[in-house]
Structure 1
Amino acid sequence: MKVVVMGAGVIGVTTAWYLAKAGADVVVLDRQAGPGMETSYANAGELSYGMTSPWAAPGVPMKALKWLFMKRRPLFIWPLISPTMWAWGAQMLANCNPSAYEVNKGRMVRISNYSRDCLPDLVADTGVSFDMREQGTLQLFRTEKQMKASKADQEILKRYGSPFEVLDRDGCIAAEPALARVRDKFVGGLRLTADRTGDCRLFTMALAEKARALGVSFHYGQTIERIVAEAGRVIGVDTDKEGRVTGDAYVCALGSYAPRVLKPVGINLPVYPVKGYSVTLPVVDDAMAPQSTIMDETHKVAITRLGDRIRVAGTAEIAGYSGRLGPHATDTVRHVVRDLFPLGGDMERAEGWTGLRPMTPDGTPVLGPTRLRNLWLNTGHGTLGWTMAAGSGRLVADLVLGRAPQIDMDGLTAARYGR
């Protein structure tokens, strides 16, 4: 079977590797010059299984209003004249209730936990190296109110079997010794012990090489112009350089850009780009730098140790498909790393980045079949593409090859939107 995979980010490459490992002939198309050059390039680096939750949650609308007036706010909304944006926002608000949250959380945890279990086998099979650490995530609370509010999260973590520790100030310092210098800035934390960290782009590049060794053909610099369908199936993908690329089956792993190529063939997905920012800086003092991931609950910023670098990522900006990195766009993430780890890294050498997260209004990715019988989806992972990549790639590869998926597909497909 020949399979054409659209997209060479972490989702597309992981899918391609699983397909090739099972014996498929795989072609990967991507407009960039190499793998992992867009959303996978400089994300937070968290494999955050314990923090798998939809953004649409009870109380979020009120929090969002408060965030808009913060000096260093985690949320920006640009009021574009965009029916797509406002329709997506309305759908997200409709999911901000307890019953929808429970359903969406359960779906997301199902694929996240599956991915958590798949990744060690993938790493063992391939030997890929990507600065992985297995020291958990520390959700840091600056106020007693945040600490008390985390009890609801603790109940959910218990229900889904996600291990955690509730830490006081000294417990946080024991997990992250460099925090001793700023102990007056926080009151405690929640440590998610099953979480891992790693450089998503390094992983994607290394896995692409392993996939190439299995026979996967990567065609870079190819902008996908259209999917061509006829009689209920895809007959090819037209690109600007090579013309039409054909196969027996097709996988769309184009992240935020998936709706643009799917809509002309009658597949309307509520996936919308939510812009995020990061900076990466070199470690200058190991003792003063983070050892794993710290999530600042106030600013919604993650600080992650990646080998001899620190990655600081956060901010949610709803601004359409803008890729602009303005002069003050990374001010919030820079502030947080200066505030908590002032001596750990060299801010003078910090490199800024921005990328588009493909968000669904309910938080759950869109995986599996479509109305076109040989077209499959692997998109809509939001901020959790890195976390869910291994599980999503294996699941979609199994479906394409006609093998029974190892987890329940209920609620993971486009059918939940009535499409």
Structure 2
Amino acid sequence: MKVIVLGAGLLGVTSAYFLRQQGHDVTVIDRQATPAAETSFANGGQISVSHAEPWANPSAPLKVLQWLGQEDAPLLFRIRADMRQWLWGLQFLRECTPARTRHNIEQIVRLGTYSRDMLQALRRDIGIDYDQRTQGILHFYTSQKEFDGAEAPAAQMRALGCDRRVISADEAVALEPALRHIRPQLAGATYTAEDESGDANRFARELVARCRADGVQFLMSHTVTALREAGGQIDHVEATDAEGRFQRVRGDAYVLAMGSLSPLLAAPLGIRLPIYPAKGYSVTMPVKDASMAHQVSLTDDEYKLVFSRLGDRLRIAGTAELNGYDRDLNRVRCEAIVRRTEELFPGAGDTEQAQFWTGLRPATPSNVPIIGRSKIGNLYLNTGHGTLGWTHACGSGKSIARIVSGLAPEVDFAFTGLPARVARIRGLEMPA
């Protein structure tokens, strides 16, 4: 079967790889000249099953109110005359109940654990290298209230098979000596030894090289302008190349994996995807003082920042700004990340050579991605992964490849357009 994958970010590239493994003829279309050039370009670098507590949780509404108008807030709703933003915000509030939070954590952990296993298997199979580290992820807390609030979600994650252990401040410093500078401020930590980190952009580029060697075609610098339907099926994709030339691309099946742009392409087809762009920021800088720099990947839950070591570089990323499709760098938010990094690890990175980046993460109100069949027979969805696109990429890619191939996914997850019973049965053919 000929499958057209829309998007060459992490989700599109992994979808293409696993679709090719299933024997399909695959073409990938992306508006950028190189793969993973947008949301996947300079993300936080974590494969973080332990980062499963969604932004929408019982403590979120009060925090969001407190952060309104605060330029360096971890989560900033920049109120706009945008109905999609308001509707998304209302859905976000509905997801903040204890019951919805528990349900969403369950979905995120199941997919994350499976996806991490699929990444490790892929790494073994093809020997891919992307500055990966397998030293776990340490969540640290400088607020006693935040630390106390982490215990219940951590317990739920452990019950679901994600071994996120609650540890003392001294144990945290023993695992990551770079935290010694803030030992007096540490309330405690959690540690997930099985989690990992690595350069997502490098991973995507390496996997694209493997896909090309296996016969996958990539139409880069091609902007998708529309999906055209005929007779209840997608008939073709309309796109323009770098010179503005119009093209129609046809296939038997289509996978929409275009991140924050997905709802814009789906809406004319009558498909309403609850995805809104959440602008995230990152800072990348060379290691300046190795004795002060972290080795273990870290999460600062109070400030919503993650810290990864990518070879001789430090990558610090996080925060979310809901401000439509605006991609401008906000210097206040960039400087807030640098300031917090210097507070925690003074002199570790060369701030004079800091590189700032921003990208639009495709956020659903629940943080649960949208994977599966759409209401249009040959259109499939692999989008809405928010801050966890790197964590969920391989599991999502393999799952959508199985769904397109008429096979049930291997993980118990709330896939879109699939009977719940079918989604839970591993390895059986799906009904026609």
Aligned to 2:188: 188
Match of 2:401 in 1: 397
Give the TM-score, by structure 1 length.
0.96
CA contact (8 A) 2:402 2:409 kept: yes
User: Which secondary structure state, in structure 1, belongs to the residue aligned with residue 333 of structure 2?
Assistant: coil
Q: 1:213-239: per-residue Cα shift (whole Å, max 9, x none)?
A: 110111111000100110010111000
1:412 aligns with 2:415: yes
Distance 1:15 1:262, change over 3 A: same
1:47: Cα distance to partner? 0.5
Say if 2:325 is the partner of 1:321. Answer: yes
Map 1:256-335; keep pairs closer than 5 Å: 256-335=260-339
Are positions 1:131 and 2:135 aligned together?
no
**Structure 2 CA distance for aligned equivalents of residues 390 and 135 of structure 1:** 20
Deviation string for 1:124-177 (max 9, x for gaps)? 122111111111111111122222222212321222121133222221111111
SS at match of 1:287: coil
| 388-397 vs 297-306, which moves further | 297-306
> How far apart, CA to CA, are the structure 1 residues paired with 2:368 and 2:182?
36
Number of equivalences: 415
CA contact (8 A) 1:364 1:412 kept: no
Equivalent residue letter for 1:332:
A
Match of 2:389 among 380, 385, 390: 385
Instruction: Tell which deviates more after alignment, 178-187 or 52-61.
Output: 178-187
Deviation of 1:66 after TM superposition, in Å, equals: 2.5
Could you give the per-residue CA deviations for residues 241-296 of structure 1, whole angstroms, max 9, x where no partner exists?
25100111100000000001111111111111000000000112222111122111
Which residue pairs with 2:342 in the alignment? 338
Asked if structure 2 preserves the Cα contact closer than 8 Å seen for 1:73 and 1:332, the reply is no
Q: What is the SS of the residue equivalent to 1:312?
A: strand
SS state at 2:285 partner: strand
Q: Give distance in 2, aligned partners of 1:59 and 1:179.
A: 27
Distance 1:116 1:49 in 2: 8
Shift in Å, 1:71: 7.5
Show the counterpart of 1:245: 249
2:39 is equivalent to residue 39 of structure 1: yes
Aligned to 2:366: 362
Percent of aligned pairs sharing the same letter:
42
Q: For residues 391 and 52 of structure 2, what CA distance do their matches in structure 1 show?
A: 9
Shift of 1:70: 5.9
Q: Rate the CA distance shift 1:140–1:408 in 2: closer, same or farther, 3 A.
A: closer
Shift of 1:327: 2.9
Show CA shifts across 1:374-403 (max 9, x none).
Answer: 110000001000000000000000111112
* Per-residue deviation, 1:181: 2.6
CA distance in 2, matches of 1:354, 1:265: 30
- Amino acid of the structure 1 residue aligned with 2:162: S
Structural RMSD (CA): 1.5
Bigger Cα displacement from structure 2, 241-250 vs 59-68? 59-68
Opposite residue 141 of structure 2, the aligned amino acid is: F
> What does residue 84 of structure 2 align with?
84
Partner residue of 1:7?
7
- The amino acid that maps onto 2:126 is T
Q: Is contact 2:77-2:321 (8 Å) kept? A: yes
For the structure 1 residues 80 and 142, does the alpha-carbon distance in structure 2 shift closer, same or farther, using more than 3 Å as the test?
A: same
How far apart, CA to CA, are the structure 2 residues paired with 1:357 and 1:150? 24
Secondary structure, in 3 states, of the residue corresponding to 1:64?
helix
